[in-house]
Structure 1
Amino acid sequence: MAEAASANDNQYLTFTLERELFALDISSVREVLELVNITRVPRTPEYIRGVINLRGRAVPVVDLKLKFGMGATERTVNTCIIIVEVALEGESTVLGALADSVQEVYEMEAGQIEPAPRMGTPIRGEFIRGIGKSGEKFIIILDINKVFTSLELAGLAQSLGEATPENAEA
């Protein structure tokens, strides 16, 4: 017997990077935090801003704007960290993603989401699950599981082996 679709299947957390509206499937989002101090970890790519202490655990924080070639995220009153769970090759990893601001949880039915266009977006197409629409604004729906490669996550885990929650105090 087929189960009814989860109430969260069509919900997305919307957030901004620059003036663009992005979204993540709500099922990959654990929580949203105010911006806290981030401890830089040596020998990590520029887009990995460092780690934060999340309830005694060192959690890496990624600057999505840097990852997507949009420049660095500036600290403002609205800047926040979206804590997400990334699944890659059967492993689950918790990451923080910097955002200029978080907007709202937005509901979109599958019919409201179009495939990603081949050009005209600031990021590579394989990162995009689809394009939704809110009024006159487009919402770029990211596939967080494809934003990072297994090589990047393995390098991140190796670099973070040097970071402990004690030296990642927020």
Structure 2
Amino acid sequence: MHAQTPDGEHSAPTLQFLRFALEQELCAVRIDAVREILEVGQMTPLPLMPSFVRGVMNLRGAVVPVIDLGARLGLPPTTVGRRTCVVIVDVPDQEQQGHHTLGVLVDAVHEVFDTRSVDLEAVPRLGTRIRPEFIRHMVRVRGQATPDLDLRAILDHNALAELIGAHSLAAMH
């Protein structure tokens, strides 16, 4: 959506983000990937899974894998507490022919905010606790640079399957 300025010029499009905490790190994802936000409910653990796979949950009859987003990014695993949430996200698959639905466990959800595309900044190669290839941009929120996470890279179906397979093989030996 482009807003028109009083002189008839088009301004930069407005983007919406969901901002949340992973441990002490504030992160954001584009709201168009977010389907809903849930309280942490019953999750069924799965055997031989890496620590970032917390299990599966029932979402209105569908079995949805739950990924500990902090652990997936190399941060300490999430300790479930009062403010912990499962954010249900739709991630495009590699072939762009659809999406897969996953739950991501986060420490706390803070807000939905708007920004203009001109507020997006390049990802620094150093100085973030999250690998640069998992960050789309840095987004300014009240003067604070916040990573805009690339869920497609973080939750890539093939990459997750490879990590899970390698972990399962190691666990069996």
Classify the TM-score, shorter chain: 0.7 to 0.9
Unaligned runs of 5+ in 1: 159-170
* Aligned match for 1:69, one of 65, 69, 74: 74
Q: CA deviation at 1:149?
A: 3.3
Deviation at 1:151, TM superposition (A): 2.1
Cα RMSD (Å) of the superposition? 2.3
Q: What TM-score, normalized by structure 2, do the two folds share?
A: 0.81
Among 42, 47, 54, the alignment partner of 1:42 is 47
Q: Could you say which structure has the greater relative contact order, defined with CA pairs below 8 angstroms and 6 or more residues apart?
A: 1
Q: State the 1:88 CA deviation.
A: 2.0
Query: Residue 22 of structure 1 aligns with which residue?
Result: 27
Q: What is the aligned partner in structure 2 of residue 166 from structure 1? A: none
**Distance in 2 separating the partners of 1:41 and 1:118:** 35
Which residue of the partner structure matches residue 124 of structure 1? 131
- For structure 2, list consecutive stretches of 5 or more residues without a partner in the other structure: 4-12, 166-173
Provide Cα deviations, 1:49-96, integer angstroms capped at 9, x if missing partner: 100100011100000111111111011110000000011222410000
In structure 2, C-alpha distance between the alignment counterparts of 1:15 and 1:108, rounded to whole Å = 16
Aligned-partner Cα distance in 2 for 1:149–1:95: 11
Q: Distance in 2 between matches of 1:132 and 1:60?
A: 28
TM-score (norm 1): 0.82
Question: Are 1:114 and 2:121 counterparts?
Answer: yes
Aligned residues: 154
Task: Please report how far the alpha carbon of residue 122 of structure 1 lies from its aligned counterpart in structure 2 after TM superposition.
Answer: 1.3
Specify the structure having the higher radius of gyration (Cα): 2
In structure 2, distance between residues paired with 1:51 and 1:99: 15
Matched residues, percent identical? 38
